[in-house]
Chains A and B, each alone.
Chain A
Amino acid sequence: ETGVTQSPTHLIKTRGQQVTLRCSSQSGHNTVSWYQQALGQGPQFIFQYYREEENGRGNFPPRFSGLQFPNYSSELNVNALELDDSALYLCASSLGEGADTQYFGPGTRLTVL
């Protein structure tokens, strides 16, 4: 086990709704990265938070946003859900000191109907 936890495990929403996903990082890690994994694909980088600031973003629209809290836990918010947002959402924590191993949580399976 990595010590990275995510909630909820599964979630079903309808198109147009908003969703918040949560992640608790491994003890001692100050960096959280979020990834979207569509079925049968590799994870795609959404964004990264380092010491409560967004520290890089992938090719995702602004309706994907996030937060990192003083205890380094994090939230991913997605507004105006679309059917294509259905995926496994993964968070990964790391020490944040340059290129460093990212340890993943179990993910949240989001289904948009």
Chain B
Amino acid sequence: GESVGLHLPTLSVQEGDNSIINCAYSNSASDYFIWYKQESGKGPQFIIDIRSNMDKRQGQRVTVLLNKTVKHLSLQIAATQPGDSAVYFCAEEGSGAGSYQLTFGKGTKLSVIP
């Protein structure tokens, strides 16, 4: 079946450095992608999204890049802080039988070294 997956399960970065988290997707028909951050014991928190008619979108300290040619999504976090430590999920929202359901990858754990 089609799925969303992540290249790296864990990532350790030094505080102040930039972080890049990658994600591959296989459903070429998907047109909406979302990055979520999940801290221990909490629900996923929306970070940033992008639609398929864009290839880059910027937020506060975060940038999402979409490469439709190779079906690749990335999340860049500038000046990573200890509070950025969490598991990051990419998700694609696809239409199945009338509903818009999210398909998540397994997640990447980001650890920030002070």
Contact = CB atoms under 8 A, between A and B. Distances in A.
B76 interface: no
Contacts of B99: 33, 47-48, 50, 55-57
Interface in B39-91: 42-46, 49, 51, 89, 91
B98 A43 contact: no
Interface of B is mostly: strand
A65 to B, nearest CB: 16
A23 B44 CA distance: 15
A48 B97 CA distance: 11
Given A33-B101, A56-B97, A100-B100, A107 B43 contact: yes
A35 B100 contact: no
B34 A101 contact: yes
A55 B34 contact: no
Contacts of B102: 33, 35, 43, 45, 92, 102
Interface in A55-90: 55-58, 90
Interface of B: 31-32, 34, 36, 42-46, 49, 51, 89, 91, 93, 95-107
